[in-house]
Amino acid sequence: MIIKDSKGTQLFVKRGQAVESGEVTKPKNQSKTQKTEQPTKEELAKAEELKSKKIDKIKIATLESEIARTGSNKANMLKQCGVSAIEDITVVQYDRLMKIFQNAKDKPKTDLGL
């Protein structure tokens, strides 16, 4: 569908409809091959550094509080990360763990019946 004003200026074309020239229109913001930006050498170096950089004391405390909040097993978490101590967790592993903890529920509270 094409909408024109009184002077014949094209105001609107419904996408996917044939226009007067016989071409089919496509949205301007879509293409079959979308270009993606390649990371620079600096960005690649920074990503490599984060893979090996250990977390700081604040992040360690955050992980320990999340373990307590959810009632998670610390030993299993360390085993899944492939480390022997919480201090050996990298920034990348920390980010992945925090995403998991975001979706985790609080551990149920125990009713002592008092």
The region of weakest confidence among 46-55, 59-68, 92-101 is 46-55
Entry pTM: 0.57
Which helix (H) or strand (E) segment holds residue 88: the answer is none
| pLDDT for position 99 | 93
Cβ neighbors of 24 (< 8 A, separation 6 or more) are: 16, 17, 18
Cβ neighbors of 5 (< 8 A, separation 6 or more) are: 11
User: What is the maximum alpha-carbon separation in the chain?
Assistant: 84
Residue 5: pLDDT band (50, 70, 90) is confident
pLDDT tens sequence across 52-77: 899 999 999 999 999 999 999 999 99
What's the alpha-carbon Rg for the chain, to the nearest Å? 27
Spatial contact of 11 and 4, defined as CB atoms under 8 Å apart: yes
